[in-house]
Amino acid sequence: DSGVTQTPKHLITATGQRVTLRCSPRSGDLSVYWYQQSLDQGLQFLIHYYNGEERAKGNILERFSAQQFPDLHSELNLSSLELGDSALYFCASSRPGQANTGELFFGEGSRLTVL
């Protein structure tokens, strides 16, 4: 158990809909990262938050947005869903001051299926 909690574990929805994925980082971790992993693909970086502020953006679509709240949990909002958005969405957190070590603690992921 990494200590990072993601909900829901599984989600099935229809094209055009909107969903929200939630992540609670490990206690004491200020950074939250979101990644998308499509079937048999590598991890694609979406966005990084640090203590409530956006720090870096990757290949995140305009239909997707995220935020980190004062209690440090984060939400990833996916709207106008398309079939190609079906994927595993991972959240990861890291300890303060450990950015250079690359040590991320990943949650178990949220599996999104768009029908």
Partner 1 sequence: KNQVEQSPQSLIILEGKNCTLQCNYTVSPFSNLRWYKQDTGRGPVSLTIMTFSENTKSNGRYTATLDADTKQSSLHITASQLSDSASYICVVIRMDSSYKLIFGSGTRLLVRP
Of 89 and 114, which has the nearer Cβ to partner 1? 89
Strands, DSSP E only, in the chain?
A: 5-7, 10-13, 19-24, 31-37, 44-50, 53-57, 64-68, 74-78, 87-94, 105-106, 110-114
Among 78, 109, 112, 114, binds partner 1 (CB under 8 A): 109
Of 7 and 41, which has the nearer Cβ to partner 1? 41
Of 41 and 77, which has the nearer Cβ to partner 1? 41
Position 96 contacts partner 1 (CB under 8 A): no
Position 111 contacts partner 1 (CB under 8 A): yes
Position 19 contacts partner 1 (CB under 8 A): no
- What are the start-end ranges of the H helices in 5-69? none
Position 95 contacts partner 1 (CB under 8 A): no
69-91 as b/e: b if 16+ CB within 10 A: eeebebbbebeebeeebbbbbbb
Judge contact between 16 and 84, C-beta under 8 A: no
Residues in the site for partner 1, rule: CB under 8 A? 2, 4, 41-43, 45, 48, 55-56, 58, 88, 90, 92, 99-104, 106-109, 111
